[in-house]
Structure 1
Amino acid sequence: MKIFVVNGGSSSFKCCLYNFEDPPIEFISPVWQGHLQWKNNFEDLSLTVKKKDEADYVEMVKVKDKSLESSLEHLLNFLFLDKSAVISSLNEIDVLGHRIVHGGNIFKESVYITSEVKEKIRYLSELAPLHNLYELEAIEILEKLMGKIPQIAIFDTAFHHTLPEAAKIYSGPYSWYEAGIQRYGFHGINFQYCLRRSAEILKCDVNRLRIVICHLGSGASLCAIKDGKSVDTTMGFTPLEGLMMDTRSGSIDPGIILYFLKKGKKTLEEISNELYNKSGLLGISGFSSDMRDIIREDLNGNLHAKIAMDIYIHRLNACIGSMIATLKGIDVLVFTAGIGENASLVRERVCETFSFLEMKLDKFKNEHLFLADQELSTAGSKVKILLIHAKEEFQIACECWKKMV
């Protein structure tokens, strides 16, 4: 079965083609990958194409107009044209799988995309403005370009539908919850993958373990897993709640917003822009949203970089502690996504904080970057520490396989 996966957002789209001949039990690399990245309004648009076991092809893209449609059409050409071709035509593809960030309380599992489903995704875009509309646009573009090939939506929020009421209901009026205002959680696709990958690494039934997964990327959240189910998480009604992120604030006192509005100091649009785009690592450091820059400048003595790093670690540790309290202990701590996979200093500072739980990090393994997923804890550690590379596209492909078969 040939499965084309689309994982997109407001500044990039990653597409992969998988060819599953049997049920996918362990990770299988895609036969083809295409990654579109751009800045404001499709400026500096770049395309990276990788064919399995071959060198990357990279180009700065010049399309007929600055639009997602022209960009995706250009990307699709590389599937069946020139040296990067792996199929003879788009008709060979059996199904398209889309990551959709927010499914609200409407979608609790993957669904075939229909006109009704598209309208519901559009309705939910208010809750994830940086993602849902771009993903919906991609669905409609690919309907136009690829005809009647079935498309399936896989929702980041679906994994968290098992949250107990105490974890998902806000402490405002109960009428909020009745109106659909609740904690939904995000990054569920990668949490689901990390759960299955943990079982493979540890060679045990993870449904019997208490697991905290740290998805630390540009967007970041934690998930507490017990009996194989999500029982707590840090993101909530929108992807703005929880941890400090690259440009997002994470959780703040809502009274701050009321103060600005009451005093007329800022408009609602200004506040929204600052919370989503001008806060987090960028807002505190004043120069970068990239953790690599923050760490480098912190080590060089930059005061604002140090403050940004200290806040990030403080908030991360506080939220991990909250997840451990929910689970009444911890057996496995997982680091994943860009910062989780690559920032050894972040992993070290977290594990130092929780050393009282006899969580012991192997410093040699931690400081030497390996491409493979692995255990980072010492033999004597009571808590297993794992590094797992995020493979959202593979998990999306697996969900498509299950839905089709």
Structure 2
Amino acid sequence: MNDAILVINSGSSSLKFAILSGRGNTVIVEGIAEGLGFDNGRLSIKFNDKKALIKLSPSDHKSALIGINEWLEQHAEIKSALVGVGHRVVHGGEFFSSSVIIDNTVIQTIHECTDLAPLHNPAHLKGIEVAQSLFPLLPQVAVFDTAFHQTLTETQYLYGIPLRLYRDHHVRKYGFHGTSYRYISQKLGEIKPESLHQGVLVAHLGNGASVCAIANGKATDTSMGLTPLDGLIMGTRSGSIDPSLIAFISEKDQLSMSETMDVLNKKSGLLGISELSNDCRTLEEAMNTKNNKAQLALDMFASRTAKQLMSAATTLDTIDHLVFTGGIGENSQYIRHKVCEHLRAFNIKIDQTKNDSASKGDAALISDDNQALQVWIIPTNEEKMIALDTLNLITKN
């Protein structure tokens, strides 16, 4: 264990972490700090199949990272094996098309992208600042959600609005989940080497959901836009809507712009439609007891996913593979079935027996044997991708 990487995902009210070794293949310890900024902040650490729960006071990102470091002080053999720290950063704007070792210029550039991700980038910067103070001798790397999508052409990333808004304010489609898509592209390439020279569609379906088209290992289109609100219906996000709805909702419900955006980001999607939950598992259980709103939410989610997949497919020469990933994509037989049912006009079919019997946590081919286009389930692993990027950059430099 001489290549351990501490991976940090510092969110607005939570902080996830993991320590991986063996080129990202072995998870040594992992955990999450939740409720940051509230009275009930707590840090949960899982090690050797046991969980430790630590109350945080004050309840903030600094306390969470101090708690992680204090745990490491008690496990010196793990701390001494650390060779670097990898940070997930949501938004790198147009500045970053790959992961980078963090220096003062990188920190300043991430700060300049704050307008594009006002909830996420400040939290990332706080995580970086505290991690640098706690681990001053370890090189630190930033891995950007947006980087993979920097290969989109102007035709795909520009909006049909005055071009000066792009020139003056960088208003364009950026896309997210890029680290996941890069991992899936590489993993599929290991299973099917020819896929690296073919057209691939990926549906990353979870509480946050998006799709991506990949040609020759590079992104050609994606569903999320300037922010993660665009595209698919998600757990609590509306996805793509008529822009005039923003003014309409604001006027009818007497809401400010901020309050209206809160409705679209936090009270819509599966939660808003079902009026029950944003959790796909809960909704499937309710659907099985004849809850019509739960089924409506799931069916709308599947329908929009299919539409966005075919929209992204217009940037490909051929569609050779469709991959489901993310918490819902990997685990929901129903959603995979419904998405492919909506794609029947494109001769995309799955074998229902393979779909129902796919082993959780493993890559699986679930398409019909007689079908040229192959449909896959491939579990994503963003933490491994961050660990590998960190390790590779450290080794290179």
Task: Answer yes or no: same fold by TM over 0.5.
Answer: yes
Aligned to 1:289: 278
8 Å CA contact 1:42–1:67 kept in 2: the answer is no
Deviation of 1:220 after TM superposition, in Å, equals: 0.8
Aligned to 1:321: 310
Aligned length: 391
| 1:253 matched residue in structure 2 | 242
Aligned to 1:394: 384
Q: Which runs of 5+ in 2 are unaligned?
A: none
Aligned to 1:125: 114
Cα contact 1:46–1:58 (8 A) shared by 2: no
Supply the AA of the counterpart residue of 1:187: H
Q: CA deviation at 1:263?
A: 7.0
> 10, 16, 19: which one pairs with 2:18?
16
- Give the structure 2 partner of residue 4 of structure 1: 6
CA deviations over 1:160-198 (Å, ceiling 9, x no partner): 110011100000111122121110111110100000110
What amino acid sits opposite 1:189 in the alignment?
A: T
Task: Give the root-mean-square deviation of aligned CA atoms.
Answer: 2.1
Match of 2:175 among 174, 177, 185: 185
Residue 35 of structure 1 corresponds to which residue in structure 2? Answer: 32
Identity of aligned residues (%): 35
Displacement of 1:19 in angstroms is 2.9
User: Are the equivalent residues in 2 in contact too, given 1:248–1:280 (CA < 8 A)?
Assistant: yes
Asked whether the equivalents of residues 30 and 46 of structure 2 are also in contact (C-alpha less than 8 Å), the reply is yes
- The one-letter code matched in structure 1 to 2:195 is V
SS in 2 for 1:43: coil
Q: Secondary structure at the match of 2:311?
A: helix
Structure 1 residues not aligned, in runs of 5+: none
Structure 1 stretches of 4+ moved >6 Å: none
- Structure 2 counterpart of 1:200, which letter? E
Partner residue in 2 for 1:49: 46
CA contact (8 A) 1:219 1:246 kept: yes
Q: How does 1:266-345 map to 2 (within 5 A)?
A: 266-345=255-334
* Distance change (3 Å), C-alpha of 1:40 and 1:305: farther
The residue type paired with residue 117 of structure 2 is: A
The Cα offsets for residues 219-241 of structure 1, whole Å up to 9 and x where unpaired, read as: 11110001111000000111111
Shift of 1:281: 0.9
**d(CA) in 1 for partners of 2:293 and 2:43?**
32
Residues 80 and 88 in structure 1, CA contact (< 8 A), matched pair in contact too: no
Cα shift at 1:139: 0.8
1:383 equivalent in alignment to 2:373: yes
Does the CA contact (< 8 Å) of 2:196 and 2:215 recur in 1? yes
Asked whether the 8 Å contact 1:212–1:324 carries over to 2, the reply is yes
Q: 2:186 aligns with which of 191, 196, 214?
A: 196
1:233 aligns with 2:227: no
Cα shift readout 1:91-144 (whole Å, capped 9, x = no counterpart): 542211101011011222212222332232223223223322222111111112
TM-score, normalising length: structure 2: 0.92
Match of 1:93 among 82, 91, 101: 82
